[in-house]
């Protein structure tokens, strides 16, 4: 059984280096990335798509669904970490590291609360994979991917969970035997010449 773990396409917030708002849509480049990802996965027998309900992930999942004709289910457990009151702020105006281990965004999620939610999301993903005829695609966000890779998945020997997850990066997970193992990590081979443009900052969640 295979799970295709996917980060959403580039957004206007990624491009402008702004802490994203929930309704931030894909940029034109992000749409092109999502369409290339969909073509890459067209023949992979995807039976279902599980996605975050935030706009950027939903729009990425929509492109994949058009090509694979797999049904899409949205769940808020797969949302990006909630940065509360600093959402909508340019990174250059923050004056601090919003990803610091001890930073708690006002009216947002601490790392502890976020990781606990990702734990619940991972249980949801495993249940969805077991119930799917074919493979499962999961469209989510960079910090969710990082949390899963660091805390739930078996990575290749000598490899650590990346700090930076590219837009529409594909991570291929196989299992469980008895655990889920990563066969391909944070891959953007489908972007070709689009990858030549400097990617959005890893912090632009």
pLDDT in tens, 36-57: 999 999 999 999 999 999 999 9
Helix (H/G/I), strand (E/B), else coil: 92: helix
- Cα 130–chain centre separation: 20
Q: What is the rounded distance in angstroms from the CA atom of residue 86 to the CA atom of residue 104?
A: 11
| Nearest by Cα to 28 from 204, 169, 167, 205 | 167
Rounded to an integer, what distance in angstroms lies between the CA atom of residue 35 and that of residue 26? 12
Q: Model's pTM, two decimal places?
A: 0.94
Q: Provide the token pair at 197.
A: 């443009």
Question: How many CB atoms sit inside 10 A of residue 26's CB?
Answer: 26
pLDDT in tens, 163-195: 999 999 999 999 998 999 999 999 999 998 775
Note whether 126 and 152 are within 8 A (CB): no
Pairing relationship of beta strands 2-7 and 170-174 according to DSSP bridges? antiparallel
Quote the percentage of the chain above a pLDDT of 70.
95
Residue 199 has pLDDT above 50, yes or no: no
What's the angle, vertex CA 178, arms to CA 176 and CA 180, rounded to 5? 40
pLDDT of residue 23: 93
Q: Which structure tokens are listed for 191?
A: 């972007």
**CATH number, domain 2-179+191-196, options 3.30.420.10, 3.90.1150.10, 3.40.50.1240, 3.30.70.3040:** 3.40.50.1240
Contacts of residue 177, Cβ cutoff 8 Å, sequence gap at least 6: none
């Amino acid at each position: 059984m295979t799970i295709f773990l996917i980060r959403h396409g580039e957004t206007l917030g990624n491009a402008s280096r702004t802490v994203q708002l929930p309704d931030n849509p894909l940029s034109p480049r992000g749409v092109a990335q999502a369409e290339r990802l969909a073509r890459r996965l067209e023949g992979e027998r995807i039976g279902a798509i599980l996605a975050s309900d935030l706009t950027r992930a939903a729009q990425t999942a929509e492109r994949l669904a058009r090509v694979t004709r797999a049904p899409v289910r949205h769940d808020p457990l797969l949302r990006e970490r909630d940065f509360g009151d600093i959402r909508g702020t340019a990174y250059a105006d923050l004056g601090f590291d919003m990803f610091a281990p001890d930073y708690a965004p006002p009216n947002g999620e601490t790392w502890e609360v976020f990781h606990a939610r990702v734990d619940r999301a991972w249980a949801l993903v495993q249940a969805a994979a077991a119930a799917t005829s074919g493979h499962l695609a999961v469209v989510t966000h960079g910090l969710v991917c990082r949390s899963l890779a660091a805390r739930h998945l078996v990575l290749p020997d000598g490899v650590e969970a990346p700090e930076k997850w590219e837009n529409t990066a594909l991570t291929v997970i196989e299992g469980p035997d008895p655990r889920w193992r990563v066969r391909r990590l944070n891959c953007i081979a489908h972007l070709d010449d689009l990858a030549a443009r400097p990617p959005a900052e890893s912090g632009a969640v």
